[in-house]
Amino acid sequence: MPEYDAGVRAENLVKRFDGEAALDGISFEIGADELFGFIGPDGAGKTTLFRILVSLLVPDEGRADVLGYDVVSQYREIRRRVGYMPGRFSLYGDLSVEENVRFFASVFGTTIDEQYDIIAPVYSQVEPFKHRRAADLSGGMKQKLALSCALVHRPDILILDEPTTGVDAVSRGEFWDVLQELKTGGLPILVSTPYMDEASRCDRIALIQNGTILTTNTPSAIGEGYTKPLLAVRADDRFRLLQTLRTFPHAFAVFPFGEDLHYTDARPHMNPGDIVREVTNWLADAGFDDVQARPIAADVEDVFMAMMGDGEHYGVPDGQPGA
Amino acid sequence: MCPTVSQVPEPSIIAEDLTRRFDDFTAVDRISFTVQRGEVFGFLGANGAGKTTAIRMLTGLLTPTQGSARVASYDVASQPEAVKRRIGYMSQRFALYDDLTVRENARLYGGIYGLSNRQIRERTQRLLERLGFQHAADARVGSLPLGWKQKLSFSVALLHKPEIVFLDEPTSGVDPITRRQFWEMIYEAAEDGTTILVTTHYMDEAEYCDRISIMVAGRIEALSTPSELKRSYGASTVEEVFVRLARPDGMGPTNSRPSNGDAT
């Protein structure tokens, strides 16, 4: 179990902009040994939350502490100890890679050499380009440079706002490898992302949408919380399969998932093997002779869609179960 | 959705040895490919691989250093204005005007593309109906959720019935349900005969394309259907193929090239 006393704790955080709640009563506790992810789309409230935690915004209601310090009354302590990466690239484009890191080190009265061991896992990946202007780096490299700058004052916690957004799949994987290494070295990390597939890289996650937390747990436990039978179904003509399968009388939701469609059956207690047979036969009658269907475990994205979905949103035509 | 060679109309994109250099850096290095009408073509690559530079050339915004491309039957170097009139474009960064209403945005874009008032009125009405946005027609675009904006933005990019639409990371940051609804709109447009060239960092979306190309360091290193690519690389997902191509020696990011003029 995580130890909450030295991590991050939020109680009923509310923040409104022009009367609209960007954060609508958010509470959570994060241990000092966790790599914790806030997962949700743009506009969910992730940035507002992180700005409160790093003391750049004051909440309208509720309270939060980071490393045991109150985000409002003890903001100086927090600013000294937090490594923060804002969502928007905010380094100096006209300075070189090395100059950027050196600048952030000097602000905290230190040097790259003194801190090399802590920044090495990520800085070594951008160091081959240390004389290049930061503005000329690719998206993935910019984020690695930004992380180097957030680490160079040897923070006690990292708070990273969407560090992988707009970054290609390969660079994203490398970035998460670095986070894993830093976390193993004893650094607690809060990270936000809109990419659901990154959930599995976190110890625990919170699914966040419209300023509220839908659920908090380990990624696998969240998948296990999916209460309806789920199948992966595929056939060559995927688009027609999608449209056809949605008219199956027991369809609760049908969505494309890469090469497969994920089919959720509306009958919670039905045996998945029976559903496979039923669906396959029904599709054969509808003219699909190459259907492959198998029961699968839900992943975080399935759960997210189920939790955010109302009938209208959930890909089920009117008049169907669950609509 | 994947027309055969025997069909008469000229492909929507014919690129031959298309090249762009910035000083001594070659951002796009002799790429050749063809995109058929009504095809959904995924244009993939790591950050800095040259995708954005290539798209800027294909949309008539940047002159090739070498090689050529015909888009919607016009040459991008000598007839860039004709190309621009025949294409649609949307990205997350450049979409609609937040301070205008849904209807005003449609009128503005329709006007820019020379549609008559009557055409604008009729097509806007149809657009609103298809999206189920009638109630939001006079809402400021800035007040809409991101997912709505992106769907709207795509529909507006189709308003002048372009032959081909370029979608640059259209689903970035969009919630998972809206992201999938967006792809259904892509399929529908393709069924109507519109050609789609789309970039994405969601590897599951690569699987939804008729064909995909993968750019590495300015070159197209792979181009085929998702299933054929997976077969030839012995991979179970397009993501595996992508990772293998983008980091061929497993050495990590030291392979990365500079990204002059390449925004992502």
The verdict on A118 and A248 lying in the same domain is no
The verdict on A241 and A207 lying in the same domain is no
pTM (two decimals): 0.88
A88 CA: distance to closest CA in chain B (Å)? 13
Nearest to A171 among B46, B181, B207 (CB): B46
Provide the pLDDT for residue B48: 87
Per the domain annotation, does A301 fall within a domain? no
Per the domain annotation, does A105 fall within a domain? yes
Provide the pLDDT for residue A239: 86
Provide the pLDDT for residue A315: 43
Asked if B48 and A139 come within 8 Å (Cβ–Cβ), the reply is yes
The verdict on A61 and A84 lying in the same domain is yes
CATH label of the domain that carries residue A149: 3.40.50.300
The verdict on A129 and A217 lying in the same domain is yes
Asked if B177 and A40 come within 8 Å (Cβ–Cβ), the reply is no
pLDDT of residue B217 exceeding 90: yes
Provide the pLDDT for residue A321: 34
The verdict on A193 and A60 lying in the same domain is yes
**Whether B158 contacts B194, CB under 8 Å:** yes
Asked if B252 and A301 come within 8 Å (Cβ–Cβ), the reply is no
Nearest to A128 among B173, B239, B254 (CB): B254
Provide the pLDDT for residue A121: 92
Preferred mutation among A168, A176, A262 to probe B, highest tally of B CBs within 10 A: A168
Interface membership of B45 toward A (CB under 8 Å): yes
Per the domain annotation, does A307 fall within a domain? no
- What integer best gives the mean pLDDT of chain B? 90
Q: How far is CA B146 from CA A310, B106, B151, B179, B208, in A?
A: 18, 17, 9, 11, 22
Question: Among A223, A247, A271, which residue terminates a domain?
Answer: A223
How far is the C-alpha of A218 from the C-alpha of A113, rounded, in Å?
Answer: 37
User: Which range, A245-254, B85-94, B128-137, has the best average confidence (pLDDT)?
Assistant: A245-254
Preferred mutation among B93, B148, B177, B229 to probe A, highest tally of A CBs within 10 A: B177
CATH superfamily of B13-255: P-loop containing nucleotide triphosphate hydrolases (3.40.50.300)
List chain A residues with pLDDT less than 50: 1-3, 311-323
**Whether A22 contacts A15, CB under 8 Å:** yes
DSSP B220: E
The verdict on A191 and A234 lying in the same domain is no
A residues 231-270 near B, CB within 8 Å?
Answer: 238-239, 242, 255-259
The verdict on A264 and A191 lying in the same domain is no
Per the domain annotation, does A306 fall within a domain? no
Interface membership of A40 toward B (CB under 8 Å): yes
Q: Is the ipTM of this complex over 0.90?
A: no
Nearest to A170 among B46, B178, B237 (CB): B46
Per the domain annotation, does A319 fall within a domain? no
Calculate mean pLDDT across residues B196-214: 95
B211 CA: distance to closest CA in chain A (Å)? 13
The verdict on A24 and A118 lying in the same domain is yes
Domain total of chain A: 2
Q: Which residue of chain A has the CA closest to B206? A: A258
Asked if B246 and A41 come within 8 Å (Cβ–Cβ), the reply is no
Place B254 in a pLDDT band, splitting at 50, 70 and 90.
very low
Asked if A308 and B47 come within 8 Å (Cβ–Cβ), the reply is no
* Domain carrying residue A82: 8-223
Q: Give B154-164 pLDDT, tens digit per residue.
A: 999 999 999 99
Tokens 């089920």 -> residue: A316
Calculate mean pLDDT across residues B196-201: 96
Percentage with pLDDT > 90 across chain B: 79
A31 CA: distance to closest CA in chain B (Å)? 27
Asked if A140 and B256 come within 8 Å (Cβ–Cβ), the reply is yes
Strand order in the sheet with A61-66: A20-30, A8-17, A61-66, A69-70
The verdict on A97 and A219 lying in the same domain is yes
How far is the C-alpha of B149 from the C-alpha of B158, rounded, in Å?
Answer: 14
The verdict on A276 and A217 lying in the same domain is no
- Gyration radius (Cα) of chain A, Å: 23
Tokens 């930004």 -> residue: A146
Provide the pLDDT for residue B264: 42
Residue spans of the domains in chain B: they are 13-255
Write out the DSSP string of B137-183.
TTSBGGGS-HHHHHHHHHHHHTTT--SEEEEESTTTT--HHHHHHHH
Place B81 in a pLDDT band, splitting at 50, 70 and 90.
very high
pLDDT of residue B9 exceeding 90: no
**Whether A126 contacts A148, CB under 8 Å:** yes
Q: How far is CA A25 from CA A21, A59, A65, A206, in A?
A: 9, 10, 15, 14
Interface membership of A167 toward B (CB under 8 Å): yes
Could you give phi then psi for residue A249, rounded to 5 degrees?
-55, -25
The verdict on A153 and A284 lying in the same domain is no
The verdict on A163 and A234 lying in the same domain is no
Nearest to A165 among B172, B176, B178 (CB): B172
A74 CA: distance to closest CA in chain B (Å)? 33
Asked if B48 and A43 come within 8 Å (Cβ–Cβ), the reply is no
Asked if A170 and B242 come within 8 Å (Cβ–Cβ), the reply is yes
Preferred mutation among B259, B260, B262 to probe A, highest tally of A CBs within 10 A: B259
Question: Among A223, A238, A273, which residue terminates a domain?
Answer: A223
How far is the C-alpha of A50 from the C-alpha of A176, rounded, in Å?
Answer: 19
B residues 62-101 near A, CB within 8 Å?
Answer: none
Per the domain annotation, does A165 fall within a domain? yes
